[in-house]
Amino acid sequence: MTFGRNLLLGGVLLGLAAAPASAQRVEVQWWHAMGGVLGERVNELVKGFNEAQDKYTVVAVNKGNYDEVINGTIAAYRAKRHPHLVQIYERGFMTMLLSDAVVPVHQLMKEQKYDVDWSDFIKPVAGFYTYKGNLMTMPFNSSTPILWYNKDQFAKAGFEKPAATWQEFEKQLYAIKAKGAAECGTALANDYFWSLIENYSAINDQPFATRSNGFEGIDTEFVYNKTKVVGQVTRLKKWLDDGVLQLAGTGLSPQQLFASGKCATYISSTADHGAMERNATIPWSATFLPHEADVATPRNSTIGGATIWVLKGHKAEEYAGVAAFFNHLASPRTQVWWHKVTGYVPLTNAAYKMARDEGYYTQNPTREIAVLQLGRGTPTENSMGFRFGNFTQTTFALRQEMEAVMTGKKQPQQALDDSVRRGNEILRQFEKLNQGKY
Amino acid sequence: MAGSRRESGLKRAHFVEPRVAALLLLPQLAILLLFFFIPSIRALAQSFLLADPFGARVQFVWFDNFTALFRSAEYHESIWVTVWFTLAQSILTLAIAGVLAFATDRVIRLRGTYKMVLLLPYAIAPAIAGILWAFLFNPAVGPIAHALHTIGIGWDPNLNAADALILVTLAATWKHICYDYIFLVAALLALPPSLLEAAAVDGAGPLRRFFLIALPMISPTIFFLTVMNFVYGFFDTFAIIDAVTRGGPAGATNILVYKVYQDGFVNLDLGSSAAQSVILMLSALTLTLLQFRYVERKVNYDV
């Protein structure tokens, strides 16, 4: 009893202390996963919004990495102490969509009388998060993998820049190592499953799973063990055995292998621009991801990153604050600023046009690669994106099987067969639980 | 015996009032209830469910979560990894701590300094210790890995399952030696010096004195430490695994407790994770009971 009373008393005191600040302003809580420099940018973004008007205060709280944020959100929601906004990675889309815990962003903006031109959101981003024709969550940080390279090391080996096809690119990497221009050809990023398997499938128009990679139904099944992915994995294993490909492992970031000049190339997110500009001591540049020589028209790559979901169960005036914040976030001016300071792609065509008209891309050509690569050609059912339930879990199985290839425990075909089998079991669990919901 | 009679007399004299005893037990029981019984019961309930993480949809699936585990090759592998890891770690920790304790027991000069240095690792947070080990043994930048390469050992815990398992075993051992060491030093200090001196006079060297006299006399401590080492290996090594290998490569260091975390908190498969934690709890319980039943018989408490 005393304990309860003390808690109550503490709450009252806290409320009193906070009263002067929140008397006029309505507070909106936002949990995010942006640490380090990106975390500072989020704080600047929120500060900009809070200073631009006097009705709402957005409070941004870093709750750790993406896994920790979604976990914290679930625990908080179950205890009914959840924030208004949460930043959730793209792999959590289905979990959030079918959680019965969210307010779709298109609905929220309509209720709050904001007339948002959703069609101006760039296709590869909007398409990824659209369900039955409507955007379900507010796109925030979207990126796509690009190919970073060391200009000096390429020049030393007699190349101008990385080749457009995997076949030619492979020859270049072997030559770079043989001629001693660099110790290793390429460093393997931690999210290689995203860049070298998923995006590889999209760009080369290979099906990753049935039912348009899951967009058409939760009865989707993985099929990447029967596509060019097998050849891709075999190639990566060969590079690894020949010392052309290097792993960083724990205790070291793979980006350091590239940024320090040890490896000549690095395939990773365009959002690494911020870090490259700050940390790299080498003359770097970037270009499009390679494609297979026998694929005549390489398709668009797909996005990764996170969105901001709106959670149910709060007061109407607080949702008005959420809508005002989203309106601020989507404005071309905010988007161009965010694009420039982080390296993430701009969310709307208007923002992209604004950056281009400023001459930003003539000065920073590598900043445009991601936008161009995402918007390249007409998306096919293999390049729209990936939509799977329990996506984090199926990705984990894929990574474990990929490690089995790297350690030599399994042959590529067998590992991919096992990965697909394990992944499909996980998909069937999701289907069983969510029958008729999607 | 005088001791036991005094004890029972004490009981009768002071605990006639059972309510006082209950009251004194209450804080401990409250803690157990909050942090052990309630979570255990909830885990048990969850292990029979297939549920979405937000709790919007729940299906009762009987033993599906358990049968799926017993069918899964990854789970079998995780069991074996755990057995190897825990055994190796327990034996290694006890052996090294034993040698160090016996050695510092004989040192006169700077004994305090030695003891302090030996206890330092215990003060380092497991996650920090893990990152330290991961860095020192990183094949690309780690100084120790580099030294190993120069003497012709192709060390690479990123690509070699055995190397990874050795690395986490060493890191976990290093972290836990101090714990065993403190208890062993205390046990050795409690030995009557006259016995050891008598043995020395009779011509027994340090090794003989250790194995024939000290060891049997500190067997209760060794038994206690064996149990504690197992519990440590089973449950407390999570942070080290997370920092050093994250259970990889290809599940080579994915011990059961790490898999519980991975499946529950990263993959959000709550049913399977709960089932795993129930199995883990039962096996730890069984193991400890077995240790008390069979190993304790060989322990000599009559010093």
The total number of structural domains in chain B stands at 2
Identify the CA nearest to A310 among candidates A6, A99, A47, A36: A99
Question: Three-state DSSP class for A223?
Answer: coil
Give the up-direction half-sphere exposure of residue A86: CA atoms within 13 A in the CB hemisphere: 30
> Does the distance separating the beta carbons of A74 and B250 come in below 8 Å?
no
The CA distance from B247 to the nearest CA of chain A, in Å, is 10
Count of pairs with CB atoms under 8 A, one residue in A, one in B: 112
- Is residue B85 domain-shared with residue B7, that is, in the same domain? no
> What is the reported pLDDT for A11?
43
The whole-angstrom distance between A375's CA and the closest CA on chain B is 31
Selected residue with higher pLDDT from B112 and B158: B158
Q: What is the pLDDT of residues A386-410, one digit of tens each?
A: 999 999 999 999 999 999 999 999 9
Can you list the pairs that B18-21 forms with residues at least 24 positions away whose Cβ atoms lie under 8 Å?
none
Q: What are phi and psi of A209, to 5 degrees?
A: -150, 165
Question: Does B274 have pLDDT greater than 70?
Answer: yes
Specify whether B219 is located in the same domain as B93.
yes
Same domain, B128 and B66: yes
Residue A99 to residues A128, A297, A323, A432, A437, Cα–Cα distance (Å) = 18, 38, 21, 15, 10
The Cα B104–Cα B196 span in angstroms is 16
At residue A360, does pLDDT exceed 60? Answer: yes
pLDDT per position as a tens digit, B33-87 = 998 899 999 999 999 999 999 988 999 999 999 999 999 999 999 999 999 999 9
Tell which CATH architecture fits domain A24-143+304-357.
3-Layer(aba) Sandwich (3.40)
Using the beta-carbon criterion (under 8 Å), do A247 and B158 form an inter-chain contact?
yes
Give the Cα separation of A236 and B11 in Å (integer): 73
Mean pLDDT of chain B: 87
Residue located via tokens 């390279």: A149
Residues B36 and B149 in one domain: no
Distances (CA, A) of B206 to B99, B108, B187, B199: 12, 15, 17, 10
The pTM (predicted TM-score) of the whole model is 0.88
Query: A9 pLDDT exceeds 80?
Result: no
Using the beta-carbon criterion (under 8 Å), do A434 and B134 form an inter-chain contact?
no
Q: What is residue B207's predicted lDDT score, i.e. its pLDDT?
A: 82
The answer on B15 and B108 residing in a single domain is: no
- Same domain, yes or no, for B155 and B41? no
Return the residue matching tokens 């398709």: A299
Q: Is the residue at B55 inside a domain?
A: no
Interface of B with A (CB under 8 A): 50-57, 59, 68, 74, 131, 134-142, 157-161, 243-246, 248-252, 262-263, 265-269
Q: Are residues B134 and B268 in the same domain?
A: yes
Chain B nearest-CA distance from A301, in A, is: 25
Higher pLDDT among residues B226 and B6, named by residue: B226
Q: B119-144 b/e with 16+ CB inside 10 Å = b? A: eebeeeebeebbbbbbbbbbbbbbee
A-chain residues near B266 (CB < 8 A): 67, 392, 396
In a domain, B52, yes or no: no
Beta bridge partners of A145: A269
Instruction: List the single range of A205-219, A248-262, A309-323, B97-111 with lowest mean pLDDT.
Output: B97-111
Q: Which residue of B has its CA nearest to A409?
A: B250
Question: Which residue reads 């394990």 in tokens?
Answer: A422
DSSP per-residue letters across A250-264: TTS-HHHHHHTTSEE
Q: Is B56 a member of any domain?
A: no
- What pLDDT score was predicted for residue A437? 87
Q: Which residues of B touch A435 (CB under 8 A)?
A: none
A98 neighbourhood in chain B, CB within 8 Å? 52, 56
**Which residue in A113, A122, A71, A124 sits closest to A95, CA to CA?**
A71
Tell me the C-alpha to C-alpha distance, in Å, between residue B171 and each of A119, A255, B175. 54, 26, 6
Residue A413 parent element (H or E): helix A412-434
Give the closest of B244, B245, B250 to A400, CB-based.
B250
Domain co-membership, B42 together with B69: no
pLDDT at site B302: 62
- Give the pair of three-digit tokens for residue A19: 């009263």
CB-based contact B134 A432, cutoff 8 Å: no
- Give the range of the structural domain holding residue B37, as residue numbers without chain letter: 1-46
Find, in chain A, the residue whose alpha carbon is nearest to that of B71: A422
> Smallest Cβ distance to B50: which of A392, A396, A432?
A432
**What ipTM does this complex have?**
0.84
Are B1 and B101 in a shared domain?
A: no
- The answer to whether residue B257 is domain-embedded is yes
Q: How many angstroms separate the CA atoms of A120 and B266, rounded?
A: 34
SS3 category, B215:
helix
Q: What is the predicted pLDDT for the residue at A19?
A: 44
pLDDT at A243: 93
- pLDDT, tens digit, 9 for 90 and up, residues B182-204: 899 888 888 888 888 888 898 88
Residue B263: its chain A contacts at CB < 8 A? 393
- As a whole number of angstroms, the distance between CA A48 and CA A45 comes to 5
The pLDDT value recorded for residue A2 is 41
The more confident residue out of A18 and B16 is B16
- CATH number where B145 lies: 1.10.3720.10
**Mean pLDDT estimate for chain A:** 92
B59 closest CB neighbour out of A246, A400, A433 = A433
- Supply φ then ψ for residue A29, to 5 degrees: -90, 135
Write out the H or E segment, with its range, that includes residue A241. Answer: helix A229-241
User: pLDDT tens, A317-331?
Assistant: 999 999 999 999 999
Distance (Å) from the C-alpha of residue A248 to the closest C-alpha of chain B?
7
Q: In this structure, are B72 and B6 located in the same domain?
A: no
Q: Are B140 and B38 members of one domain?
A: no
Q: Which two tokens stand for residue A145?
A: 């993998």
Q: Alpha helices, DSSP H only, in A284-348?
A: 316-330, 332-342
> Which pLDDT score, from 0 to 100, does residue B127 have?
86
Torsion of CA A213, A215, A217, A220, to 10 degrees: 10
**Is B8's pLDDT higher than 70?**
no
Q: Classify residue B259: in a domain, yes or no.
A: yes
What is the per-residue DSSP string for B141-174? T-HHHHHHHHTT----TTT-HHHHHHHHHHHHHH
Is B35 in the same domain as B181?
no
Is B52 in contact with A95 (Cβ distance < 8 A)? yes
Q: Which among A98, A396, A407 is the nearest to B249, CB-wise?
A: A407
| Between residues B248 and A295, the one the model is more confident about | A295
Residues ≥6 apart with Cβ < 8 Å to A359: none
Q: CATH assignment of A145-301+377-434, given 3.40.190.10, 3.30.2130.10, 3.90.79.10, 3.40.470.10?
A: 3.40.190.10
Helices (H), chain B: 2-14, 18-32, 38-46, 64-71, 73-106, 111-123, 126-136, 143-150, 161-189, 193-201, 206-208, 215-217, 219-231, 238-244, 256-261, 270-290
- Selecting from A98, A240, A396 the residue whose C-beta is nearest the C-beta of B267 gives A396
Q: Strand pairing of A245-246 and A184-187?
A: parallel
CB contact under 8 A, A252 and B51: no
A83-115: pLDDT as tens digits: 999 999 999 999 999 999 999 999 999 999 999
pLDDT: which is higher, B214 or A356: A356
Q: Which residues neighbour B53 within 8 Å (Cβ) at sequence distance 6 or greater?
A: A70, A74, A95, A99, B268, B270
The segment(s) of chain A belonging to CATH 3.40.190.10 are: 24-143+304-357, 145-301+377-434
